[in-house]
A and B are shown apart, each in its own frame.
Chain A
Amino acid sequence: MRKIVERIAAGIITCSGFLTSIVILLIVVFLFSEGLGLFSSKTIEEGYSLVVNKANPVEELDARQIKEIFDEDITEWKDVGGTGGKIRLLRFDDMESLFSRERLGENYEHAEACLDSLIKADAGIIAFIPDSYASKLENGRMLDGHEISVGEVLGGNEWFPTATPAPQFGFVPLILGTIWVTVFAIIFALPFGLSVSIYMSEVASVRTCKMLRPIIELLNGIPSVVYGFFGLTVIVPILQDVFGLPVGESGLAGALVLAIMALPTIITVSQDAMQNCPRAMREASLALGASRWQTIYKVVMPYSVSGITSAVVLGIGRAFGETMAVLMVTGNAAVIPLSITDPLRTIPATIAAELGEAPAGGPHYQSLFLLGVVLFFITLIINTSVEYISSRNK
C-alpha cells in the first residue's frame, strides 16, 4: 500500500517537473497555430476582389502596389507593369453616388450591369468589389489574388493592418522600433548599472550595501504600469519642453523608462558576478602594489566579464519584452524611426494596443500572433545566449 502511494506521488511529481517544458511547447504550438494562418490569407480583404478591364495586361499586384494605388500614390498603370493610361479607382461604396437608386435596383439587382458598363467604358479602371459580383462581369477580369508572403511580412516596411483594400503587415518598423528603444535604454542604463554594481560589491561599506539592496529590490518590484504612468506624467512633459518636441511621447521617453526598469536586473546579476571573484586574486593584486581601482578594472572586471555580459543581455531581454511602460510613453507611431526623439512603436506595444480591436481569426489578429512568435523567438535567443555565456564561465 505504502509502495503504491509512493509510486503515485513520484509519478505526479515527475509529471509536474516537466510542466515548464510543456508550457513552452504549448506556447509555441498555440502562437504558431494562430499566427501562421496569415500566410494563407489573401492580400486583399476576405470576400472582395480587384477587377480590371479585360484589355488591361496587368496580371497581378502585390499588397504594396495595391495600397499605393488606392492611396493614389501610384496613378499610372505603367508604374505597375501595365501599358500607360491613368488609373481610375472604383470602390463598391461609390456605386450609390454614381448611379441612381432606380438604376441600381431596390436590392442592387442591377448593380452587376452597372459595374460592367463602368468597367467597359474605362480601360484604366480598377474596381474593389465583392466576389459575388466580380466573378460574373463580362468585360472585367479579376486580378489573381495571391497570398501574403513571408517576405512581405518580415521584410515589409509598412504596418497598416487596417488599410483597405490591402492591409500592410510589414514587421520591419516594429522590429526596428523595438531594437531602437532597447539599444538606447541599455546605453543609458549601462554606466549606471555598472557603477552601482561596482560600488556595491567593491567600494561601499557593508552598511551602505544593506541600505542599497532593498532600494534596488524596490525598483524591481514597482509594476511596469506604474513606471509607464510616471513616464507619461513626468518624463514626457519634461522631454517635450527640453527638446521642443511637438509631442513628448517618443523613443527617448521609452528608452529612459526602460533604462530605469532594466537597472535592477543589470545591477544584481553583475554584482553577483563580481562578488564571485576570489579574494585571493584581489589580495594578490593589492599586494603587488596596485590600487583598489586598478584591482577593480584589471582583475575583478576581467574575471567577471561573462557575468557582466549576461547581466547586460538579461537587461536587453527585459527591455525588449516590456509592454505597458513602452506602450504608454513611446507614442506608438508605426513608422521606421529616424531619430530617437521621434515617436515609435515596439512589438509588444503593438500587440497590446491592437489585439483588442482585431477581429478574431482575421489577418490582423493572425499577424499580431505572428509578432508574438517573433518576440518569443528573439527572447528565446537572448535567454539561450545568457545560458551559454554563464555556462562557459563555469
Chain B
Amino acid sequence: MESKMSHMDNSRRKLIVENAAFFIFRLLSGVIVTVLFIILAFIIIKGINVVNWDFLTTYPTDGMKAGGIYPAIVGTFCLMAGSAVFAFPLGIMSGIYMHEYASNGRLIKFIRMMTNNLSGIPSIVFGLFGMSLFVNYLGFGDSIIAGSLTLGLLALPLVIRTTEEALKAIPDSYREGSLALGATKLQTIRKVILPMAMPNIITGLILALGRVSGETAPILFTCAAYYLPQLPDSIFDQCMALPYHLYVLATSGTDMERQIPIAYGTALVLIVIVFIINIMANAMRNYFQNKLKTN
C-alpha cells in the first residue's frame, strides 16, 4: 500500500515538474514573440505617419530635418544590384565547384571551413578590408563599386552555401542519366542540374540580397554619403543608403525632435524592404516546390 502511495506521489511530482518546465518554455517563447511584436509595432506605429508618397520620392531638405529619403532608397537598390552582379555568378560557380567538381575530400573540407569562416567574420572587418583594398589600394575611392564589392564579399558565403545545398538535393541518378546519354559534365550541369537547382538557388540569392540591404558597417568607409544633392551618375560616385541614413539621423544632428520621426520612417521603409524580400523568397520556394510536385 505504502509503496503504491509513494509511486503515485512520484508520478504526480513528475507531472508537476514537467508542467512547470513546459510552462516556463511556453512563457519564455511567448516573451520572444512579444519582443518581436513590440519592436515591429513601435517602428510601424511611429513610422507610418511619416511615410507617404512624397517621403519616398523627394530629397531630404533643411539639413535632413525635413523632406524625403528618395536618394537613400535609390542608393540601397544600387548597392543591392551591384553586390548581386558580383557575388551571384562567383558564388554559384564556387558552389558548383564544391559539389560537382571537387573530388578531394580534404580539399572540400578545407574550402568549406574557409567559407564558414568568411561568413563568421564581423561586417566591420569587411568594411576595413574594403576600405584598404577597393577604396585605397585599387583607387576606387568612396564609390558604389567599392561598396558593392565589399557587400558582395559579405554575401558570398551565403550564396555558396545555398548553391551547395540546392545541388545536394538533386539525386545522383539525374547526373548519371545525363552522362550516360553522352552529355559532357558541363552540359549536364548546364542543362540538367542547374535548371533543377535554380529555384532553391534563387531563394538563397534573394535572402542574400535581404542581408545586403540592411548592412551598415561595410559601407561606412567604402561608399555611404551623409547627404547628396543628386543621384549618383556612375558606379564611381558615392551614394546614400537607407541603413546609413538611419544611423546618421539617430545619432548625429542638431534637431533630434524633428529628426527622429524621419528616422522612424526610414526604419519602417528599411524593414518593409527586408520583409518583402523575405516573403518573396519564401513564396518562390513554395511556388517551385508545388510546381515540382505537380510535374
Contacts and interface: CB of A to CB of B under 8 A. Distances in A.
Given A195-B28, A226-B43, A360-B136, A384 B22 contact: no
Contact of A30 (B32, B117, B118, B132): B132
Interface residues of A, number: 84
B42 A230 contact: yes
B8 interface: no
Contacts of B213: 223
A33 B18 CA distance: 58
A21 B32 contact: no
A191 interface: yes
Contact of B247 (A17, A27, A324, A380): A324
B260 interface: yes
Nearest to B274: A221
A373 B133 CA distance: 15
A321 B125 contact: yes
A17 B185 contact: no
Given A21-B111, A293-B22, A13 B29 contact: no
A352 B124 contact: yes
B217 A352 contact: yes
A215 interface: yes
Interface in A314-357: 314, 317, 320-324, 327-328, 348, 351-352, 355-356
Nearest to B277: A221
B214 A355 contact: no
B198 interface: no
Interface stretch (A3-11, A85-93, A97-105, A109-117): A3-11
A198 interface: yes
Contacts of B90: 16, 19
A320 B132 contact: no
A291 B15 contact: yes
A19 B114 CA distance: 9
Nearest to A264: B32
B97 A16 contact: yes
Interface string B228-264: 0000000000000001101100110000000010010
A215 B31 CA distance: 12
Given A229-B246, A230-B43, A321 B122 contact: yes
A192 B32 CA distance: 8
B11 to A, nearest CB: 8
Q: Is the interface of A mostly helix, strand, loop or mixed?
A: helix
B179 interface: no
A229 to B, nearest CB: 5
B120 A17 contact: no
Query: Size range of the interface on B?
Result: 35 or more
A296 B102 CA distance: 40
B36 interface: yes
A291 B216 contact: no
Interface stretch (B60-68, B153-161, B284-292): B153-161
B251 A328 contact: yes
30 contacts: A10-B186, A17-B101, A17-B111, A18-B111, A19-B156, A20-B94, A27-B125, A30-B133, A31-B125, A192-B31, A195-B28, A196-B29, A203-B22, A203-B25, A217-B278, A223-B214, A223-B216, A225-B244, A228-B247, A228-B250, A229-B263, A292-B18, A294-B18, A321-B125, A351-B124, A355-B221, A356-B220, A380-B121, A383-B116, A383-B117
Interface of B: 14-15, 17-18, 21-22, 24-29, 31-33, 35-36, 39-40, 42-43, 90, 93-94, 96-98, 100-102, 110-111, 113-118, 120-125, 127-129, 131-133, 136-137, 153, 156-157, 160, 184-186, 210, 213-217, 220-221, 243-244, 246-247, 250-251, 260, 263, 267, 270-271, 274-275, 278, 282
Enumerate the 4 nearest inter-chain pairs by beta-carbon distance, A residue then B residue, closest first: A321-B122, A223-B214, A17-B97, A195-B28
